[in-house]
Amino acid sequence: MENCIFCKIANGEIPSGTIEETDLFRVVLDVAPATRGHALILPKAHYANLYELPEEMAGEAMKLAKRIALRMKERLGCDGVNLIQNNEEAAGQTVFHFHIHLIPRYKEDGQKIGWKPGEPTSQELDAIKTLLT
């Protein structure tokens, strides 16, 4: 895909801090990391988001995420790891080439990744359950 920065990074056309490369994916360090070691899993082929990503690729991406998360634990000595994957602008996506964030977490790293817990009624939960089942 022309003019997609992550296509260029994933295919090695733009040098990046690569920490892992497979036939299908490249894992690079984020240029504006949330924490020390923040990395991105990028498929080499262009898919805008999770909706477009083939199921087999989704499976491979998660296996890769597990391997890198374990490596982060071992080598960075982080205290935890967040996996974050944004789809569409409303969900915070800014680069429209599928990617998974791997964010090592350190006690008192000062980052906040979260949401304000809602307080739905049981009727509201039931209605949503019906919609999503």
Name which of Zn ion, ligand 5GP, none residue 46 binds, using a CB cut-off of 5 to 8 Å depending on partner kind: Zn ion
User: Distance (Å, rounded) from C-alpha 133 to C-alpha 8?
Assistant: 39
Interface with Zn ion (CB under 5 A), residue from 36, 44, 46, 71:
46
83 binds, among Zn ion, ligand 5GP, none (CB under 5 to 8 A by kind): none
Residue 101 annotated among the catalytic residues of the structure: no
What lies within 8 Å, CB to CB, of 128 at 6+ separation is 120
Residue 123 binds to ligand 5GP (criterion: CB under 6 A): no
69: closest CA among 19, 114, 104? Answer: 104
CA 2 to chain centre: 22
* Residues 69-108 interacting with ligand 5GP (rule: CB under 6 A): 86, 92-95
Task: Locate 65 and state its tokens.
Answer: 């995420």
Question: Closest distance between ligand 5GP and the C-beta of residue 127, in Å?
Answer: 30
Interface mask toward Zn ion for 79-118; x: CB under 5 A: ------------------x---------------------
Of ligand 5GP, Zn ion, none, which one does residue 95 interact with (CB within 5 to 8 Å by kind)?
A: ligand 5GP
Take residue 27 and report the two structure tokens written for it: 């894992």
Angle at 37 (CA atoms; ends 32, 39), nearest 5 degrees: 70
Q: Which one-letter DSSP state was computed for residue 8?
A: H
Please, are residues 4 and 98 in contact by the beta-carbon 8 Å criterion? Answer: no
Residue ranges that bind Zn ion, judged by CB under 5 A = 1, 4, 6-7, 46, 97
Residue ranges that bind ligand 5GP, judged by CB under 6 A = 5, 9, 16, 28, 30-32, 86, 92-95
